[in-house]
Amino acid sequence: PKYVFDFTEGNKDLKDLLGGKGANLAEMTNLGLPVPPGFTITTEACRHYLEHGAVPDGLDDAIDRYLAALEQKMGKRLGQADDPLLVSVRSGAKFSMPGMMETVLNVGLNDESVHGLAERAGDERFAWDSYRRLIQMFGKTVLGIDGEHFEDALEDAKRAKGVGNDLDLDAADFKGLVQTFKGIVREQVGRDFPTDPREQMDLAVKAVFESWNAPRAILYRRQERIPADLGTAVNIVAMVFGNLGMDSGTGVAFTRDPASGQQGIYGDYLQNAQGEDVVAGIRNTVPLAELERIDKRSYDELLQIMETLENHYRDLCDIEFTIERGKLWMLQTRVGKRTAAAAFRIACQLVEQGLIDEDEAVSRVTGEQLVQLMFPRFADDAKAEKIAQGMNASPGAAVGKAVFSSARAVELAAQGEDVILIRRETNPDDLDGMIASRGILTSRGGKTSHAAVVARGMGKTCVCGAEELEVDVRAGKVIGPAGVTISEGDVISIDGSSGAVYLGEVPVVDSPVVQYFEGTLSLEDGDELVAAVHRLMTHADARRRLDVRANADTAADAARAGRFGAKGIGLCRTEHMFLGDRRRLVEDLILAEGEEDRQAALDALKPLQKQDFAEIFEAMDGQPVTIRLIDPPLHEFLPDLTELSVKVATGDASDDERRLLDAVRRLHEENPMLGLRGVRLGVVIPGLFAMQVSAIAEAAAEQKAAGRDPRPEIMIPLVVAVQELELIRDQAEEVLREVGVEAPIGTMIELPRAALTAGQIAEAAEFFSFGTNDLTQTTWGFSRDDVEAAFFSRYLELGIFGVSPFETLDVDGVGRLVRVAAEKGRKTRPDLKLGICGEHGGDPDSVHFFHEVGLDYVSCSPFRVPVARLEAGRAAI
């Protein structure tokens, strides 16, 4: 294979092979933009190296050839003593991983060539500054020396001279630093800094390969869901120098504001500086607009290039550039990252400008971004007392009582309190507490800390690294600036979108986008973001083939789902209708000893059920409402076995309670998830399902009589054999006939056997709805309630799966069952309606899969309906 590509040989579509940086350097080269010459070593070579611990055959030769060609083009050899070619060795994977991997600049300098460089440039200081930078970066990146050794030495040099700025160091100072840095290398790794230019380059290439597996890179990939096996490319680029005096410099720029999407001059520039100085915050940068004053010619050229790039990529680009003595060089570009709001706005702006069409615009925004825009925010933080600023680790606005341990968080949450878990930093033992909390606040750690990563995974609000707060877990308090203290139980508010921490309760409001979906904010209100969301959602709706329904158990949820664009209810659970006050009635049913008792209990329940259904039909008039007959783990309706036993044992129990204990014992299950539930309950408790069906039928009949158009669909849960379904179906049909109402009867497919025998089951079912939560549990053998906290973070860490199968459908396993069941079912009954009603119905990646297997609809929580609509549209484009 071809392991090396000159910049003139690549293009932007070769990101898999050349990485984003290499592909775009090639693209810019071919556009005729001023890019220093260079070449790219492919990701394939990297993968080979990582797998075998050695570079593939032929790579060394290829590098020799491409380096020779580069030397020819530049008219000088790498590290040539009197006039050295210097290069940078830069990482660059397919997906950008900012700051995660390594780059070494000024490769090719040594004790001889530093003089040649000084002479050619007519600048001693510059040459020695470049040399010390090489040793510093090489030492850190290639030799693995802690960067602080070098930084401390640099600080010492400045302090010794009584200056604060590295611009005040002269050639002699840098010469001294080169000696010091070499000493550090010798001391830290027991070898001399390699002075052979080619050896420097080869070692740097390998170090870049290896940086793919640096811990922070691994963590970043997991968080961004970037596959672990892509590898990075390596770019060898002729150096250009921004540190050659005040007519030189280096900068970064965006073609438009990545926060708002507004077009304009956005970026930073730093005179007399190299590479990373701009982002490292070594000196204060100036806004890009000032470059016009400093170097008008380069500025005009840069603006011209930015326009070229926007028109060429038809998107926001970000750019790295360097000016060497008045000559502009482009060092990097890519389609830039942006906030969720900017993504929607930019996509619409580009449609307006005629650069892209609406299909393209919809494909450029994601459901995840829409989720970001739907988080609630603080209404008015102006009056609130802001006590600290941390990092905006996971968006949202959370208010609750401060707690300092995971155990307390769980305890208070169980009592119905909203809590915010405050920790110095979290660790896997805090998982329970994080789940129980409204939000998480830490005083240490950045956006890739445990707290941040886990919180984002859970969609939980998190502010991390609020360093002004001193968390004293043992004393159970936080000491903030100006003597503020937070003790357990004090209410605080945290803003995961801005990183702000407030004392007291800040009122929370819906985001404008949610207000738009709710209909409380209209297009006429002139919010540009809302207009963009409206436009792209409208187009997604027009394009999608999947219908979107909602999971809703109450009329209020149904109504909200309707406002969010759901066309019907895909899952109306009936369990909750038995909880609360009605639990007593369920107990009666379970304890009923004879036919008569049982019927009496059922009769008492029915009017309540009927009322529930009537309200939901009304809220979803004219749209299908799929009602799932009761599927509870039975124990949820019964008192706690231990508690009751103690009561009976101590003689405090009433007669009823004694009888109840017998029943609880009788019904106690070791493994309720796999026990007496779903259709099994309908089979075992005669009359239970019939009561529910007749409540549905009568409610529908009454709605019809009132002039409405109810469309009930009856869904039987947890069917594993067609015989179960036939039995219940016969009973249900009889009830429907009696009331004179028609309703399709279908089943959930949520057990592997049901999926595998779907051809038989379809004989008795008019529709299937995939219950992917249970299907995932039973396919993986994971009890969701038990495994997530117990070991999922470890599994994610080890890469056993990249994302929880409860979050994104496991296409290989569970997806296979869905595919098989869909095919077999439709073979038996070509007009079989197919839907999905698990959590996956609102997950972007899963929605694409459901589109692809040809389901008719997805059903998800009301809040996720817009996400599913958008992703279903994107899937169809």
Binding site for Mg ion (CB under 5 A): 320, 332, 750, 771, 774
Assess contact for 83 and 120: CB atoms under 8 A.
yes
Which residues fall within 8 angstroms of residue 194, CB to CB, at 6 or more apart? Answer: 200, 203
Alpha carbon distance 350, 358 (integer Å): 9
Which residue, among 147, 127, 130, has the nearest Cα to 139 in the 3D structure? Answer: 147
Set 348, 462, 572, 837: catalytic member? 837
Q: How far is the CB of 751 from Mg ion (least distance, A)?
A: 9
Given 37, 56, 275, 842, the residue binding ligand ADP (CB under 6 A): 275
Alpha carbon distance 859, 836 (integer Å): 6
866 lies in the binding site for ligand ADP (CB under 6 A):
no
Read off φ and ψ for residue 563, nearest 5 degrees. Answer: -65, -30
Burial-class residue 697 by CB neighbours within 10 Å (0-12, 13-18, 19+): buried
Set 149, 450, 840, 848: catalytic member? 450
Q: How far is the CB of 327 from Mg ion (least distance, A)?
A: 20
Q: Annotated catalytic, 450?
A: yes
320 lies in the binding site for ligand ADP (CB under 6 A):
yes
Partner from Mg ion, ligand ADP, none contacting 103, C-beta within 5 to 8 A by type: ligand ADP
Alpha carbon distance 840, 843 (integer Å): 5
Assess contact for 440 and 406: CB atoms under 8 A.
no
Q: Which stretch binds ligand ADP (CB under 6 A): 231-239, 460-468, 721-729, 747-755?
A: 231-239
DSSP 85: B
Place of tokens 């009889």: 734
Whichever of 250 and 793 has its CB closer to ligand ADP, that residue is 250
Alpha carbon distance 312, 611 (integer Å): 60
335 lies in the binding site for ligand ADP (CB under 6 A):
no
Please identify the residue of the shown chain whose CB is closest to the bound Mg ion: 774
Q: Annotated catalytic, 837?
A: yes
Report the SS3 class of residue 93: strand
Q: Which stretch binds ligand ADP (CB under 6 A): 115-123, 234-242, 499-507, 617-625?
A: 234-242
Number of residues located near ligand ADP, criterion CB under 6 A = 16
Alpha carbon distance 436, 621 (integer Å): 37
- Per residue, what are the HEC states of 415-434? CCCCEEEEECCCCHHHHHHH
Partner from ligand ADP, Mg ion, none contacting 275, C-beta within 5 to 8 A by type: ligand ADP
What angle in degrees, to the nearest 10, is found between the helix axes of 583-591 and 595-619?
150
Q: How far is the CB of 780 from ligand ADP (least distance, A)?
A: 38
747 lies in the binding site for ligand ADP (CB under 6 A):
no
Query: Strand order of the sheet with strand 470-472?
Result: 470-472, 477-479, 485-487
Whichever of 97 and 153 has its CB closer to Mg ion, that residue is 97
For β-strands 833-836 and 767-770, DSSP reports them as parallel
322 lies in the binding site for ligand ADP (CB under 6 A):
yes
Which residues fall within 8 angstroms of residue 161, CB to CB, at 6 or more apart? Answer: 168, 169, 173
Assess contact for 387 and 481: CB atoms under 8 A.
yes
Alpha carbon distance 781, 775 (integer Å): 9
Which run of H or of E encompasses 780? helix 772-780
Assess contact for 387 and 502: CB atoms under 8 A.
yes
Partner from ligand ADP, Mg ion, none contacting 771, C-beta within 5 to 8 A by type: Mg ion
37 lies in the binding site for ligand ADP (CB under 6 A):
no
Read off φ and ψ for residue 32, nearest 5 degrees. Answer: 80, 15
The strand pairing partners of 392, in sequence order, are: 463
99 lies in the binding site for ligand ADP (CB under 6 A):
yes
Whichever of 332 and 694 has its CB closer to ligand ADP, that residue is 332
Q: Which residues in 72-91 contact ligand ADP (CB under 6 A)? A: 88, 90
Which run of H or of E encompasses 373? helix 367-374
Whichever of 138 and 344 has its CB closer to Mg ion, that residue is 138
624 lies in the binding site for ligand ADP (CB under 6 A):
no
Whichever of 249 and 712 has its CB closer to ligand ADP, that residue is 249
Q: How far is the CB of 431 from ligand ADP (least distance, A)?
A: 33
Q: Which stretch binds ligand ADP (CB under 6 A): 59-67, 99-107, 462-470, 786-794?
A: 99-107
Q: How far is the CB of 718 from Mg ion (least distance, A)?
A: 6
142 lies in the binding site for ligand ADP (CB under 6 A):
no
Give the number of residues written for the chain.
877
Q: How far is the CB of 181 from Mg ion (least distance, A)?
A: 24
Given 18, 46, 78, 105, the residue binding ligand ADP (CB under 6 A): 105
Whichever of 16 and 797 has its CB closer to ligand ADP, that residue is 16
Whichever of 332 and 426 has its CB closer to ligand ADP, that residue is 332
CA diameter of the chain: 107
Q: Dihedral of CA 323/326/329/332: which sign?
A: positive
Whichever of 320 and 788 has its CB closer to Mg ion, that residue is 320
Q: Which stretch binds ligand ADP (CB under 6 A): 125-133, 236-244, 568-576, 682-690?
A: 236-244
Whichever of 750 and 843 has its CB closer to Mg ion, that residue is 750
273 lies in the binding site for ligand ADP (CB under 6 A):
no
166 lies in the binding site for ligand ADP (CB under 6 A):
no
**Catalytic residue numbers?**
450, 837
**Under the rule (CB under 6 A), what is the footprint of ligand ADP?**
36, 88, 90, 99, 103, 105, 237-240, 275-276, 320, 322, 331-332
